[in-house]
């Protein structure tokens, strides 16, 4: 199953994912196809897919993001019982320039199947964590949550790569 993003910006978003024609409906309006980059000109938020064909890297999903609150994917298959999550994030302004004053700012990456497995990170540098107890071939969604307050013109911007653990 393909991975599709839903932005949760204070209002529920609906997802319609048909087996052969997966799409995303954001807040009842915007329709986005699988692997189409999401750009919100009004808010400055985006999700940009990283497409990898190198199976030796064992990458399940990879994407760049710039969000205010959170993003959640639809279900995707995991080919292993554990996953490594690599992420880097910083606080930026509208022009994507780094912003100071957010030392220790926290964000969460959560993989959810039957129940959530949560990793918490601080901004700055590359962080990683392992999620275990997954069902091989199981279906999971990924959520990135901005845990702390941001000024109105600041964003959490970064990259998330989910790989099958060895």
* 6-20, 47-61, 99-113: range with lowest mean pLDDT: 6-20
- Give CA–CA dist 163/166, Å, rounded: 9
SS (H, E, C) 106-117: EEEEEEECCCEE
Determine the structural domain holding residue 156 and report its residue range. 47-164
SS (H, E, C) 122-151: ECCCEEEEEECCCCCCCEEEEEEEECCCCC
- 80 lies in some domain: yes
Percent of the chain with pLDDT over 70: 74
- 22 lies in some domain: no
Check: pTM over 0.85? Answer yes or no.
no
Q: Which residues of 36-69 are buried (b: 16+ CB within 10 A; e: fewer)?
A: eebebeeebbbbebeeeeeeeebbbbbbbbbbbe
Q: Residue 31 — very low, low, confident or very high, per pLDDT cuts 50/70/90?
A: low
What value does the mean pLDDT take over residues 114-122?
A: 92
- 18 lies in some domain: no
pLDDT at 61: 82
What's the structural domain count of the chain? 1
Residue 82: give its domain's CATH number.
2.60.120.20
- 27 lies in some domain: no
- Tens digit of pLDDT for each residue in 32-86? 555 677 788 888 888 887 877 666 667 778 889 998 888 877 677 888 899 999 9
Average pLDDT in the chain: 78
- 62 lies in some domain: yes
- 81 lies in some domain: yes
- 33 lies in some domain: no
Q: How many CB atoms lie within 10 A of CB 159?
A: 15
Q: How many residues does the chain have?
A: 166
In the predicted structure, residue 18 carries a pLDDT above the cut 50: no
Q: Residue 90 — very low, low, confident or very high, per pLDDT cuts 50/70/90?
A: very high
- 38 lies in some domain: no
In the predicted structure, residue 21 carries a pLDDT above the cut 70: no
């Amino acid at each position: 199953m393909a991975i599709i993003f839903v932005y949760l910006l204070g209002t529920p978003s609906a997802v319609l994912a048909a087996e052969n024609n997966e799409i995303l409906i954001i807040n009842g309006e915007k329709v986005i196809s699988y692997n189409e980059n999401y750009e919100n000109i009004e808010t400055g938020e985006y999700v940009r897919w990283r497409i990898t064909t190198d199976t030796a890297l064992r990458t399940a999903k990879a994407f760049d993001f710039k969000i205010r609150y959170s993003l959640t994917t639809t279900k995707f298959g995991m080919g292993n019982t554990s996953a490594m999550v690599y992420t880097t994030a910083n606080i930026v302004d509208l022009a994507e320039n780094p912003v100071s004053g957010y030392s220790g700012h926290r964000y969460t990456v959560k993989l959810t199947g039957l129940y959530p497995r949560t990793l918490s990170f601080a901004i700055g540098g590359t962080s990683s964590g392992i999620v275990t107890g997954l069902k091989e071939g199981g279906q999971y969604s990924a959520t990135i949550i901005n845990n702390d307050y941001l000024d109105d013109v600041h964003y959490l911007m970064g990259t998330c790569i989910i790989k099958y653990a060895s």
